[in-house]
Amino acid sequence: MTQSYAFYVYGSYLFAGAVTIGVTLWTWFEGRARRRELKALEASGIRRRSSRTKDASHSKASP
């Protein structure tokens, strides 16, 4: 009777670990893809909105 519970418990841990590793890898690969897209956009001349505000505030401060 103990073996049937052990199979369930180990199976649950294995499934949870696989899902955790899968989500971690998915997030990591998506982050790398977004960084590549951002780099390509910046190389084509498109800048981030946050960097535009910084640049605009510096240019307004200096006459």
Q: What is the pLDDT of residues 7-60, one digit of tens each?
A: 999 999 999 999 999 999 999 999 999 999 999 999 998 887 776 555 555 555
61 falls in which pLDDT band (50, 70, 90)?
low
What's the CA angle centered on 22, arms 34 and 38, to 5 degrees?
5
Per the structure block, which two tokens stand in for 46? 């498109």
d(CA 59, CA 57): 6
| Cβ count near 58 (within 10 Å) | 9
Eight-state DSSP code of residue 44: T
* pTM confidence score: 0.61
Per the structure block, which two tokens stand in for 26? 């998915």
